[in-house]
Structure 1
Amino acid sequence: MQNELKPFWNKHFNFDRKFGLLLILLLCIPRIVLVLHGNQIGNMQFVGIMMLFMAVAPFIFLSKHGRYQIGIKKPANYSWLIIAICIGLTFSMFLYFLGESLYGKSYENWYQYISKSYNISTDINEQTKLITFGISAFIGMTFSPIGEELFFRGIVHSSFANSLGNKKASIIDSSAFAIVHISHFGIVFHNQHWEFLLVPSAIWVLCMFLVSIMFYICRERCGSILGAILCHSAFNLGMTYCIFYLL
């Protein structure tokens, strides 16, 4: 029987829900702290380092067989790559219209609050704005989708799935994903003090849970983690476009 974990780790751990919980605690708690700190100082550079740790986790802990099991392989259904992109873009636009209709231009609108981290100047010309958008979109479409999907829909999901099955595992990894994103919006730094926006953050976390489920569906239908990565990447592209051009 082939083991998902590399020999060194296999001596100390089983690839099960305990291992998945350990990964969540080790990487998600520091991630939350770094994002909150980044919102306070207006700089998210250290969050990128955490994304790198998430991306390399499968290669540190898993054997070749284990990486295959979590979806690091060629897609079985290429049409779902296109569908995944459409789903991601559509949901990002849905969140824009939902936020605008409920909270308008206030900081209780998730996209309005998140836009602060982009440090967009109000007096830049269109060419500079386009270049800045391109750089921001590229970063948003690579670091976060690759790191988070290899972590949440990859190694974390599969470790829980070995113990509980795919349906329960998808609920757990999606819940972890959603809770982590309360640091991006929900616990907000506004007017030099911290606030917890109960109702807006509840809506945001629910939406993050739902979009995370969609990422998992794309992974399953595509037959590869690439489906989840592309859906997530398209979602971030749509969100970045909304922040630069629609807010």
Structure 2
Amino acid sequence: MMDKSILKPFWRNFLTYNWKFGLLLILLFGIPRFIIVLQANISGSYGLVSIIFMLMWITPFILLNKEGRKYIGIKKPQNYRWLLYSFLIGIAFCSFMFISSNLLFGDSINNSFIYISKSYTLPAGELTATNNLILFLTFSLTGMTFSPIGEEFLYRGVIHGSFVEKYGEQKASIFDSLAFALTHLAHFGIIYNLGKWDFLFIPALLWVASMFIASQIFFKCKEMTGSIWGAVICHAGYNFGMMYWIFYHIF
């Protein structure tokens, strides 16, 4: 089942689907994404980040055959009720993070939600209830599609699957969760504020830990639904929750 058999014929000539392949993908996507996000924190332009997410999205379809895509979880869910649960769990965990961050750091730059909210480019003028709702829905729609599908297809899908044969499902989830969590240091932890870079050690440590836990939750939702879509929906719920807290409790 593993090794070369789930790769498309072209890739079988020089690639083997194993943990080394997974590590290659972690570096191939993680390093450019890290640099691009850091640059976007300065410029405020996240167009290239969206392209990275789209590349993650199509990676399983470029590298894996039909059997390979099924192996990593791109298939019909076995438990549709858990799709709803997954979405609600994503919202709940994000809400827990928001409340915890507020209790620990208030409205300071040490609060990940405050820092991330500053990266959003909003139209000039006063935010009314109507345009705030429109912006919330627009940002939510984007946040619930690009990164959840792209990141889950890559991390809980292709990368996770590459570690399974050698390490098993649970340990493989630790590897993909670590990769996911560390790459999110570019979003918060290493910050650009008042014209200079800074590293917030304790907030960064808590942020990476929370991203690791979120990854483990996404993986559990994948298991409970029997499909990668459980992870995608949970991730989408998390991002929806983040948009809600930012647009209705920060802006």
**Common topology (TM > 0.5):** yes
Q: What is the identity, as a one-letter code, of the residue corresponding to 2:113?
A: Y
**Of residues 225, 232, 235 in structure 1, which corresponds to 2:235?**
232
- Mapping for residues 161-176 of structure 1, pairs under 5 Å: 161-176=164-179
2:64 counterpart of 1:45 = no
How far 1:228 sits from its partner (Å)?
A: 0.3
Once the two structures are TM-superposed, the CA of residue 62 in structure 1 deviates from its matched residue by: 0.3
Q: Percent identity?
A: 47
Distance in 1 (CA, whole Å) between partners of 2:42 and 2:116 is 12
Return 5+ residue gaps in structure 1 as ranges. none
Cα deviation code 1:94-152 (max 9, x no counterpart): 01101100110101100000001213467222111111111100000000000000000
> Which residue in 2 is equivalent to 1:146?
149
| Aligned-partner residue type, residue 13 of structure 1 | L
Aligned length, in residue pairs: 247
Q: Secondary structure at the match of 1:99?
A: helix
Equivalent residue for 1:178? Answer: 181
Q: Is 1:17 aligned with 2:58?
A: no
Q: Deviations over 1:63-121 (max 9, x none)?
A: 10000000010011111111101110000100110110011010110000000121346
Offset of 1:162 from its aligned partner? 2.0
TM alignment of 1:14-93, pairs within 5 A: 14-93=16-95
Once residues 111 and 195 of structure 2 are traced to their aligned partners in structure 1, the CA distance between those partners, rounded to angstroms, is 18
Residues 196 and 122 from structure 1, CA distance in 2 versus in 1: closer, same or farther, beyond 3 angstroms?
Answer: farther
Q: Which of 222-231 and 118-127 deviates more? A: 118-127
Q: What is the aligned counterpart of 2:195 among 169, 173, 192?
A: 192
Name the counterpart of 1:242. Answer: 245
Q: Which portions of structure 1, spanning 4 or more consecutive aligned residues, are displaced by more than 3 angstroms? A: none
Helix, strand or coil for the counterpart of 1:194? strand
Contact 1:44/1:117 (8 A) holds in 2:
no
| Whole-angstrom CA distance in 1 between matches of 2:174 and 2:105 | 28
CA distance in 1, matches of 2:125, 2:95: 22
SS of residue paired to 2:16:
coil
TM-score, normalisation: structure 2: 0.96
In 2, Cα distance between the equivalents of 1:73 and 1:149?
13
Q: Secondary structure at the match of 1:72?
A: coil
Kindly report the root-mean-square deviation, in angstroms, between the aligned alpha carbons of the 2 structures. 1.1
